[in-house]
Structure 1
Amino acid sequence: MSAMTNTTSSVPLLELKHVSTIVNAHTPSATKILNDLNLTIYPGDFITVLGANGAGKSTLFNVIGGNLAADEGDVLLHGDSVKQETEEQRTRFLARVFQDPKLGTAPRMSVAENLLLASHRGQRRGLHLRGLRSHMAEFKTMAASMQNNLENRLNTATGNLSGGQRQALSFLMAVESKPELLLLDEHTAALDPKTSQQLMTTTNDRIAQDHLTCLMITHRLEDALTYGNRLIVLSDGKVTYDVRGEEKKQLTKEKLFGFFDEL
């Protein structure tokens, strides 16, 4: 089954220019995790991100998401620097799903309450929830799209869901407001093969349906080859391989394995 891809624009959405992050700065053991990294992301890109452990994949996501400041270089959104913006400020254009199903949701809140909270992503809001009942039909339809019985658990505390249902909820919360940029940080890695494939299929469909721009870290070469219009490989904190379109379609597992042998 071929994966659907988005139509990309020639005007960048996000740019990382000469970005470096340094651990133990100003000491003899100073180490650059990202090392003069350059990456341009265009609207409609669905980029799969590969790299060995320690290559800088999670650090890249942390710099984009504002969890970690870039020590050198700049991060530009539509040409304007967002380097100084906090993680919270960046939620106006960005959403992220983590590998751990326990992250990204409030365990004591119900599924519906989590979805209502996510609907206000990037907006100023108080601590109280309003109008939950009026959204229930909408949330039921959204949850049903995950095809894992989540629609029948809208009043269940999120902490009582299965791992697959909780990760499905995390994904729904991330895409609910159609963010300009979606970061998927190995979001299927903690799931069993059947649940993982189900979530990956739904992910691909939703990205295509809503014309989302997405970066997805994965260790599954099949997923990296099957999904997205573009594939990048990180090594030693840099983008060392960047392929897209027809060239990406010609890639095979064997070719990727050979590339990793060279790292």
Structure 2
Amino acid sequence: MTKPILELKNVSTVVNRGTAQETTILKHINLQINQGDFITLVGTNGAGKSTLFNVISGLLPVNAGQILHNGKDITKMSEEQHTKFLSRVFQDPKMGTAPRMTVAENLLLATKRGEHRTLRPRHLKQHLNHFHELATTMNNGLETHLDTATGSLSGGQRQALSFLMAVLKRPDIILLDEHTAALDPHTSATLMQATNEHIQTDNLTALMITHQLEDALQYGNRLLVLNQGQIQADFSGPAKKALTAQQLYDYFQE
């Protein structure tokens, strides 16, 4: 039997430990993520969605339980060590890119994700054709701005760059943390379509937090509902295809 690419076993996380504000955010989470899964994640504010991502990425410690990557215990592994097999795209287009570096320079930086870096020639020119091809897949004109400082891009183009940087080395796990939420509807739809195409074409494994129920239903092969730090529902296959927006909305009314 094939091992899950990532597995959470009875994971709990406590914040503000030892103070009057001590709160258990994640409560005995059990989750198996298989190669090629595209999981959309929904839940009310405070349900624990971002905390789950912070735990998976190593940003927050686990107070109980285990996290396994390809069967190896990574529960106490640092956030930096996680970058060898995991990448994350945040809601804010300004995060994840260097504003004074050009688009091409940012992409070159992404080719070294998770590696030990030393001082050596960049050899940027030899990558430009590949970077142009990559940028073209985002369908928003990014390929015409390879020499543009990233800080001068539109929000949609900068977020598209963040996504390309995240998937460039085909990490084992990609965390999409409401990566379209700060964009207008048209730009958001364009980025979602490009996101889905990359995930499907390259058989990537991704988890995506979204407040757009339509996107949660349309994209991915699994849909998780998180409520009060626990997985309330896990839809896949025919059950996900049959799920309606109203049925999903009802989870927010309980």
Please indicate the TM-score interval, normalised by the length of the shorter structure.
Answer: over 0.9
Q: CA RMSD in A?
A: 1.2
Aligned runs of 1:137-148 on 2, under 5 Å? 137-148=129-140
Counterpart for residue 200 of structure 1: 192
Q: CA deviation at 1:79?
A: 1.2
Q: Deviations over 1:193-234 (max 9, x none)?
A: 000000000100110000001100000000000000000011
Counterpart for residue 27 of structure 1: 19
Structure 2 CA distance for aligned equivalents of residues 163 and 129 of structure 1 = 31
Counterpart for residue 15 of structure 1: 7
Structure 1 CA distance for aligned equivalents of residues 23 and 60 of structure 2 = 15
Counterpart for residue 38 of structure 1: 30
- Aligned with 2:160 (options 152, 162, 168): 168
Give yes or no for contact 1:20–1:37 (8 Å, CA) kept in 2.
Answer: yes
User: Partner of 1:260: helix, strand, or coil?
Assistant: coil
User: Partner of 1:261: helix, strand, or coil?
Assistant: coil
State yes or no: 1:188 paired with 2:180. Answer: yes
State yes or no: 1:177 paired with 2:149. Answer: no
Change (3 A) 1:129 1:68: farther
Q: Deviations over 1:9-40 (max 9, x none)?
A: 95311111111111221234321011111111
- Aligned with 1:233 (options 219, 225, 229): 225
Aligned runs of 1:35-114 on 2, under 5 Å? 35-114=27-106
Q: Which runs of 5+ in 2 are unaligned?
A: none
Change (3 A) 1:239 1:128: farther
Give yes or no for contact 1:22–1:32 (8 Å, CA) kept in 2.
Answer: yes
Structure 2 CA distance for aligned equivalents of residues 187 and 92 of structure 1 = 21
Counterpart for residue 245 of structure 2: 253
Q: Which runs of 5+ in 1 are unaligned?
A: 1-8
Alignment TM-score, normalising by the size of structure 2: 0.97
- Return the letter of the residue paired with 1:255: Q
Give yes or no for contact 2:3–2:71 (8 Å, CA) kept in 1.
Answer: no
Structure 2 CA distance for aligned equivalents of residues 34 and 256 of structure 1 = 21
Counterpart for residue 121 of structure 1: 113
Give yes or no for contact 1:11–1:43 (8 Å, CA) kept in 2.
Answer: no
Structure 2 CA distance for aligned equivalents of residues 24 and 227 of structure 1 = 35
Structure 2 CA distance for aligned equivalents of residues 248 and 110 of structure 1 = 41
Structure 1 CA distance for aligned equivalents of residues 185 and 16 of structure 2 = 39
